[in-house]
Amino acid sequence: MPKVRTRDIIEKFSLELISGEEGIDRPITTSDISRPGIEMAGYFDYYPAERIQLLGRTELSFFEQLDEDDRKTRMEKLCTDITPAIIVTRNLEVPKELIEASEREAVPVLRSPLKTTRFSSRLTNYLEGKLAPTTAVHGVLVDVYGIGVLITGKSGVGKSETALELVKRGHRLVADDCVEIRKEDQDILIGSAPELIEHLLEIRGLGIINVMTLFGAGAVRSHKRITLVIDLELWDPNKQYDRLGLDEEKVKIMDTEITKITVPVRPGRNLAVIIEVAAMNFRLKRMGVNAAEQFTNRLSDVIEDSDHEDV
């Protein structure tokens, strides 16, 4: 199913429908927007017909200088069977040639009071958000000290219970069990909860609880950028776990690398506190303070001093 249709942008931006009402269910497949200035001049060889076409003062003032036949031909070529919409900005008068051509091809012609550049920017941002690549992962997403922490691990390892403890400690739940992720820009991953399970946590033995009802609106948020992945795994006595934190592990989600920390789980470990400290330490590292490196450097200095004394 198409993620966005022409009727969605009509509702979102309160656009006036001038003509071509039959086409308001056309799919919008790209966030790119075209201002067909060169097409107004008659060059249609590379006309991006699948984009929304934006006509501002520049395009329409040039169009008015054309003779009658050219005006008719240009508007007929502008209206194709895949063009999702033609939008006239600044509440400018819509040429009758455009109305006639749009009615024939069922291309919606819309009008906005906004300036062309401002409207183009808003529309692009809206479409990029709606048309961004998406995926879903099994895990829990929590906002811990402003860091979007995605908690992963096998079923039953304690992800939801840890999230509940974090919420009790003042942090905010974004999603439990299923995290919908959309990729914005080059390396920005935004996580949110499916509408059906928004604000809900499933705790074995208790069942489903509504975090917002229990802890208030400050305990939840609708979406958050994912910057840290914490993978919970049952303690394996034969596995060597990182004790210094010098090596930074990465995990790929939708071709975007995210820092990953593996935390072993066993009775007596307070996972909520560990995740809180991991989030704070991650923030410190981004600010240029790396405790593991500082310790290693001090250790190297002590060893060097010891070697000099021996000499």
Q: Which residues are catalytic?
A: 138, 159, 177, 243
By the 8 A CB rule, do 134 and 182 touch?
yes
Q: Annotated binding residue at 121?
A: no
Q: Annotated binding residue at 160?
A: yes
The encoded tokens of residue 230 equal 């914490």
Q: Annotated binding residue at 154?
A: yes
Residue with tokens 């906002």: 143
Instruction: Report the SS3 class of residue 237.
Output: coil
Residue 181 CB contacts under 8 Å (≥ 6 apart), including other chains: 134, 135, 136, 137, 189, 190, 191, 226, 253, 254
- As to burial, measured by CB atoms within 10 angstroms (0-12 exposed, 13-18 middle, 19+ buried), residue 310 is exposed
By the 8 A CB rule, do 20 and 106 touch?
yes
Q: One-letter amino acid identity for 143?
A: D
What does the alpha-carbon distance between residue 275 and residue 232 come to, in Å, rounded to a whole number? 10
**Exposure string (b/e) for 21-50, b if CB count within 10 Å is 16 or more?**
eebbebebeebebbbbeebbeeeeeebebe
Q: Classify the phi-psi angles of 233: left when phi > 0, otherwise alpha if psi is within -120 to 50, otherwise beta.
A: beta
The CB density around residue 264, as the number of other CB atoms within 10 Å, is 15
SS3 content of the chain, % helix, strand, coil (to 5): 35, 25, 35
Q: Annotated binding residue at 155?
A: yes
Q: Annotated binding residue at 268?
A: no
Q: Annotated binding residue at 158?
A: yes
Q: Annotated binding residue at 34?
A: no
The encoded tokens of residue 115 equal 């300036």
Residues making up the annotated binding site for ATP are: 153-160
Residues making up the annotated binding site for Mg(2+) are: 160, 202
